[in-house]
């Protein structure tokens, strides 16, 4: 054990430089330790580094010690010493054996010198004497020995140099030495480069910047660019006008170059009262009124003084020459003035008397007076005497065009430049009642829907009067006009203050369709003026009348009966439904529809003329009686209608006329007929009435009673004859239809129908129907088909 321990205490040492590459050969351990290469593998040789990272490894195949990881001497040995060792043990087992190894890491020059401060600032007064020393920050180098900092170098300068010193530990220190006196006005800042170089091979270096700021001393006096300045200024220049700006220079800096300008004792008090001198900028400004007639020139003595500890100053002289100007403005004075006139004053009326003058002499004292002609004014100036002018009315005035005039009088002298003065006269134009009220339209058309509520506002009429006060206060009237013994004031009313027009009654389009009257607007002037406007009231139709079925005629609530033979052909006219509507236009346009029908395949209805025709022949299966309900409907919104029920009976045989007679049938022709409309239409159709009456008289002559063999006649022929008479009348309008229908079939209020005398036992006959009495009955108690 003692022998083994003693052997373990033996130490093997190696030396290698730092930064060797990985895998680099260090030594052959097997040879140096006297071991067999195979025993390293068999005895499980391992390397144990003491207190450090394992930078080495053993190649067990060759027994060599190699670099496992690159080594940095400065990282392994943090203390700055000349020697650096790495201690490790090689351990073998079976039996255990330990070998001590020390590896010395040699320094190489792998680090450059570094300054702790890259930039160093120094403030040096320009009064500092030569030879003054200034300490600088030294450079450091992580390497040791010869590889550490060896010397310093300074960039070229005629004012500075360096002095290198060595410390007790061998460190190099450097001082900056002032070699020559500084002048801030020549160079205010000096930029130097300090370089540190180590002793390695090859050598490495590091640099630092030195910035030297030269501090100023007050060693320069202010100076002006020239000793005497000359400048011109116009008289009457406004206060604050810049005459000139003095600019002195001082080569010093800071407070030593901050200048203050002031007048010296040689400058008169009068000059100082008229001109101001800015102490900071040196600006000379006008402070008082400069008059050429009092002073033609001014002399100023100015000094510029710095703010240094020992103040220095510079001096100059400023000559100010005054330029003469036309400095007196002309004057205009109103001697007599009318403040207001009426608009009906005559041309040539005197408004004002004006005098003009100028204190200058020569051309500067000659003046001209004019009116400002920015707008055409109805005035003119008339020179009455030297320096006096009259302001007169030149053309008629109109307050409605312009109610106020600002008359600007402009007086100008003949100096150069010319001076002007102005005076404004305000003239009020008083109103007279010279304008009649005017409506915006000369004719008003107002549409009013019928059935309007009484008192409803129809429209608002407004007139305008350009006059003022009572001359423009308007009152509205309806100019009286009678219509059918009725005054317009009973139909319409107008608000006399605002012109609102009201309807006093409910209008009916079927009675009155329009009104035409005049409305007058009158002002309150003296004398009053007025104008009128035509108002056309148009009543608009409203669908307020149901259609009235006039054919086939029937009593109220009764059914119309028609008889036709069963042998009737297709297209035969059974009857014609005619309805009239008291409304107009679309509200009076009547169309017909079948509301109910027993057999829709048997009859057709023309929706426009109301003709009911057969669409096929009767068959034995068709019932003997057919019932149709026809509705007559207008085109209004909403639509109104009326209905009629027609009962159609079929017979097997034809009726034979044995003899004819005239049977008068009376009924109320004018029931619910508008009397006014009939009178109007009768007047228009007077000539037509005479012609038709002659024809009716000829047709109504009673023939001699005798048996005449008549051709086969039947009820259908009578109905067809009557229907064709109605169908021939063109339905132009509801009123026209009424007239044509009754005019064609009446004579003195009775309808005359030629009818055969039915033999006794026959089914039907027609008798005279008294006015307002219902139809008579047959022996079989059946109603007359004519009804």
Which residues, in sequence order, are bridge partners of residue 293? Answer: none
| Contact (CB, 8 A) for 448 and 498 | no
| Contact (CB, 8 A) for 480 and 518 | no
E strands present in 141-296: 149-154, 160-166, 172-178, 189-198, 205-215, 228-234, 242-245, 259-263, 275-277, 283-286
Integer Cα distance of 396 and 338 in angstroms: 17
pLDDT tens, position by position, 59-78: 888 888 888 888 888 777 87
Integer Cα distance of 468 and 33 in angstroms: 138
Integer Cα distance of 568 and 716 in angstroms: 9
Q: Which domain holds residue 62?
A: 12-106
Give percent of the chain above pLDDT 70: 83
pLDDT (average), residues 736-742: 38
What is the C-alpha end-to-end distance of the chain, expressed in Å? 166
What's the confidence (pLDDT) of residue 248? 93
In a domain, 220, yes or no: no
Integer Cα distance of 166 and 152 in angstroms: 12
Is the dihedral angle over the CA atoms 183, 184, 188, 192 positive or is it negative? Answer: positive
In a domain, 716, yes or no: no
Residues 559, 624 within the same domain: yes
Give percent of the chain above pLDDT 90: 24
In a domain, 196, yes or no: yes
In a domain, 422, yes or no: yes
Residues 414, 483 within the same domain: no
pLDDT tens, position by position, 338-383: 999 998 899 999 999 999 988 777 777 888 999 877 778 899 999 8
Integer Cα distance of 665 and 673 in angstroms: 19
Nearest to 466 by CA among 398, 534, 395, 405: 398
Where is pLDDT greater, at 49 or 316?
Answer: 316
- Structurally, the chain folds into a number of domains equal to 6
Q: Which residue, of 106, 128, 150, is where some domain finishes?
A: 106
In a domain, 338, yes or no: yes
Burial of 17 (0-12, 13-18, 19+ CB in 10 A): middle
Integer Cα distance of 183 and 117 in angstroms: 27
Nearest to 547 by CA among 641, 639, 610, 673: 641
Residues 533, 564 within the same domain: no
Residues 276, 292 within the same domain: yes
What's the confidence (pLDDT) of residue 2? 44
Residues 364, 425 within the same domain: yes
Residues 579, 601 within the same domain: yes
pLDDT of 552 above 80: yes
- The encoded tokens of residue 705 equal 């009673």
Q: Which residue, of 90, 106, 122, is where some domain finishes?
A: 106
In a domain, 588, yes or no: yes
| Contact (CB, 8 A) for 321 and 231 | yes
Residues 392, 454 within the same domain: no
Q: Which residue, of 430, 460, 482, is where some domain finishes?
A: 430
Integer Cα distance of 572 and 690 in angstroms: 34
pLDDT of 496 above 50: yes
- The encoded tokens of residue 448 equal 């009013």
pLDDT of 4 above 60: no
pLDDT of 566 above 90: no
Where is pLDDT greater, at 417 or 6?
Answer: 417
Which residues, in sequence order, are bridge partners of residue 326? Answer: none
Residues 77, 58 within the same domain: yes
pLDDT (average), residues 472-490: 80
| Contact (CB, 8 A) for 80 and 111 | no
Integer Cα distance of 272 and 263 in angstroms: 8
pLDDT of 91 above 50: yes
Residues 335, 316 within the same domain: no
- The encoded tokens of residue 291 equal 């008059």
Nearest to 612 by CA among 590, 597, 633, 624: 597
Other C-beta atoms closer than 10 Å to the C-beta of 301 total 16
| Contact (CB, 8 A) for 141 and 114 | yes
In a domain, 80, yes or no: yes
Nearest to 727 by CA among 485, 465, 551: 551
Inter-helix orientation angle 715-727/734-745, to 10°: 140
In a domain, 81, yes or no: yes
Residues 421, 467 within the same domain: no
Residues 197, 131 within the same domain: yes
**Residue 52, domain CATH:** 2.60.40.60
Residues 98, 46 within the same domain: yes
Other C-beta atoms closer than 10 Å to the C-beta of 353 total 15
């Amino acid at each position: 054990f003692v022998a083994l321990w003693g052997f373990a205490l033996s130490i093997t040492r190696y030396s290698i430089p730092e930064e060797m590459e990985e895998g680099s050969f260090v030594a052959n351990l097997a040879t140096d330790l006297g071991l067999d290469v195979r025993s390293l593998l068999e005895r499980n040789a391992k390397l144990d580094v003491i207190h450090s990272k394992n930078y080495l490894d053993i190649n067990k195949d060759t027994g060599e010690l190699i670099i496992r990881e690159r080594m940095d001497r400065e990282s392994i040995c943090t203390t700055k010493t000349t020697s650096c060792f790495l201690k490790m043990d090689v351990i073998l087992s079976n039996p255990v054996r330990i070998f001590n190894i020390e590896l010395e890491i040699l320094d190489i020059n792998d680090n450059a010198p570094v300054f702790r401060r890259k930039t160093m600032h120094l403030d040096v007064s320009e009064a500092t004497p030569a030879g003054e020393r200034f300490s600088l920050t030294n450079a450091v180098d992580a390497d040791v020995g010869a590889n550490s900092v060896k010397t310093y170098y300074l960039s070229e300068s005629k004012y500075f140099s360096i002095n290198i010193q060595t410390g007790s530990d061998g460190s190099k220190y450097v001082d900056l030495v002032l070699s020559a006196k500084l002048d801030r006005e020549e160079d205010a800042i000096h930029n130097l480069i300090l370089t540190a170089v180590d002793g390695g091979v090859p050598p490495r270096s590091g640099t630092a910047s030195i910035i030297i700021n030269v501090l100023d001393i007050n060693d320069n006096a202010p100076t002006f660019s020239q000793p005497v300045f000359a400048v011109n200024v116009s008289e009457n220049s406004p206060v604050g006008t810049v005459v000139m700006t003095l600019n002195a220079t001082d080569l010093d800096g800071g407070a030593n170059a901050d200048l203050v300008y002031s007048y010296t004792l040689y400058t008169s008090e009068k000059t100082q009262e008229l001109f101001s001198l800015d102490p900071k900028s040196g600006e000379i400004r006008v402070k008082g009124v400069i008059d050429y007639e009092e002073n033609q020139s001014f002399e100023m003595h100015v000094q510029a003084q710095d703010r240094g500890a020992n103040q220095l100053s510079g001096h100059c002289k400023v000559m100010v020459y005054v330029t003469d100007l036309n400095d007196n403005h002309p004057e205009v004075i109103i001697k007599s003035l009318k403040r207001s006139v009426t608009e009906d004053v005559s041309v040539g009326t005197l408004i004002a008397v004006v005098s003009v003058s100028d204190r200058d002499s020569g051309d500067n004292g000659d003046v001209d007076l004019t009116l400002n002609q920015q707008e055409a004014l109805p005035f003119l100036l008339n020179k009455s005497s030297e320096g006096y002018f009259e302001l007169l009315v030149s053309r008629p005035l109109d307050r409605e065009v312009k109610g106020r005039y600002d008359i600007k009088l402009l007086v100008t002298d003949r100096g150069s430049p010319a001076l002007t003065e102005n005076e404004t006269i305000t003239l009020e134009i008083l109103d007279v009642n010279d304008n009649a009220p005017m409506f915006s339209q000369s004719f008003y058309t107002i549409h009013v829907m019928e059935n309007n509520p009484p008192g409803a506002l129809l429209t608002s009429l407004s007139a305008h009067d350009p006059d003022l006060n009572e001359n423009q206060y308007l009152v509205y009237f309806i100019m009286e006009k009678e219509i059918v013994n009725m005054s317009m004031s009973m139909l319409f009313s107008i608000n006399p203050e605002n012109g609102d027009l009201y309807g006093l009654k409910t209008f009916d389009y079927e009675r009155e369709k329009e009104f035409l009257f005049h409305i007058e607007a009158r002002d309150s002037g003296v004398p009053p003026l007025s104008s009128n406007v035509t108002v056309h009231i148009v009543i608009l139709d409203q669908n307020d009348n149901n259609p009235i079925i006039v054919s086939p005629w029937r009593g109220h609530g009764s059914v119309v009966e028609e008889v036709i033979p069963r042998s009737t052909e297709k297209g035969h006219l059974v009857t014609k439904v005619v309805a009239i509507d008291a409304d107009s236009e679309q509200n009076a346009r009547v169309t017909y529809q079948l509301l109910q029908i027993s057999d829709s395949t048997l009859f057709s209805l023309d929706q426009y003329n109301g003709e009911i025709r057969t669409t096929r022949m009767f068959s034995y299966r068709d019932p003997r009686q057919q019932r149709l309900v026809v509705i007559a409907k207008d085109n209004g919104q909403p639509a109104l209608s009326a209905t009629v029920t027609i009962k159609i009976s079929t017979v097997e045989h034809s009726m034979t006329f044995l003899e004819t007679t005239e049977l008068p049938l009376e009924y109320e022709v004018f029931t619910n007929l508008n009397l006014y409309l009939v009178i109007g239409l009768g007047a228009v159709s007077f000539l037509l009435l005479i012609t038709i009456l002659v024809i009716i008289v000829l047709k109504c002559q009673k023939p001699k009673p005798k048996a005449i063999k008549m051709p086969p006649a039947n009820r259908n022929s009578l109905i067809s004859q009557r229907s064709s008479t109605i169908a021939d009348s063109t339905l132009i309008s509801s009123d026209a239809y009424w007239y044509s229908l009754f005019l064609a079939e009446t004579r003195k209020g009775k309808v005359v129908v030629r009818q055969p005398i039915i033999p006794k036992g026959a089914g039907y006959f027609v008798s005279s129907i008294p006015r307002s009495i219902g139809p008579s009955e047959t022996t079989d108690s059946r109603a007359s088909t004519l009804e």
